[in-house]
Amino acid sequence: MKIVGSRSLLASDTRFLNDTKELTHLTTTITDRLKTRLRRADADTKPALKWLLNHLENDEHDPVYVISLSENADDLSQWRGYTPPSQGVCIGFDTQALREALDLAKGDRHDRARFLMLGRMIYLGENEGSSFDEFITSACNYIDVINGEVVRSVAAERLLVSARPFYKHIAFKNEREWRIRMSANSVFIHDPLPVVCRLGKSFLVPATYLSFTGTSMENSFIKEIIVGPTPEKELSAYSMRAFIESENLHGVAVRSSQIPYRNW
């Protein structure tokens, strides 16, 4: 009801999500691989590798806000993990509307294109550091070394900041997650994102809005709603259709979950 009423989605600060390794899993994996490569590196490549390692180990990054989506629709694990008994819904968003809302949020700031984006998550196991050799090499190519000293590389920092939110532990792979990342890194962007707070299970969660208001998709950003497992399927679907009509949303298909799961 809040999503529909406000025509917006809340992006939550990644430090407060249920994956306790948010933003650190990629860093840890690359750091371990960097240490291995440093032990074998020649004198020409060591300075860049050392700079990259030091940056990763000492980086105090600005908040990153994400909206988590899934390729899975009517999915048992999602109903169990993310919805209250008999009250769950799965919202199918229009991809064009998501991209249009992001384009509007970027405004005229070219730099924001690197920090407002929609992308698929990549899931990593504990020992996949070698798969980042190409990533490390790309970062090092942005680092200039003059007389053995590294010149600070904004491009390498951008690469790390933009990639970090799109890697998670392989234990979460069945969620088939896509993400909208919203961040305003103080190194590159001077306009902070407006922050509000929502109520979490253990604490207040800092968040920011992605609004569909003002886009051409404002009243059609939702394509489908699946009513989750509930003892009153027909009534729940009927009331959902009534709600959608009352909010003047267009072209929204409403159906009931087909999973024979009882949570009441």
Task: Tell me the pLDDT band of 110, cut-offs 50, 70 and 90.
Answer: very low
Do 249 and 222 form a contact (C-beta atoms < 8 A)?
Answer: yes
- Tens of pLDDT, residue by residue over 144-195, are 877 777 776 677 777 776 777 888 888 889 999 999 988 765 544 556 678 8
Do 224 and 253 form a contact (C-beta atoms < 8 A)?
Answer: yes
Mean pLDDT of 211-218: 92
- Lowest mean per-residue pLDDT among 18-22, 55-59, 210-214, 251-255: 18-22
Provide the whole-model pTM. 0.81
pLDDT of residue 5: 94
CA distance 47 to 155: 16
29 three-class SS:
helix
Indicate whether 242 pLDDT > 60: yes
CA distance 18 to 172: 11
Q: What are phi and psi of 187, to 5 degrees?
A: -70, -30
Task: Tell me the pLDDT band of 126, cut-offs 50, 70 and 90.
Answer: low
In terms of Cβ atoms closer than 10 Å to its own Cβ (0-12, 13-18, 19+), residue 104 is: middle
CA distance 145 to 135: 19
- Tens of pLDDT, residue by residue over 67-106, are 999 999 999 999 998 898 999 999 999 999 999 898 887 7
Nearest to 191 by CA among 108, 264, 249: 108
* Terminal-to-terminal C-alpha distance of the chain: 22
In terms of Cβ atoms closer than 10 Å to its own Cβ (0-12, 13-18, 19+), residue 148 is: exposed
Helix, strand counts (H, E) of the chain: 8, 13
* Domains of the chain by residue range: 2-256
Do 179 and 118 form a contact (C-beta atoms < 8 A)?
Answer: yes
Mean pLDDT of 119-141: 78
pLDDT of residue 102: 86
Q: What are phi and psi of 237, to 5 degrees?
A: -65, -40
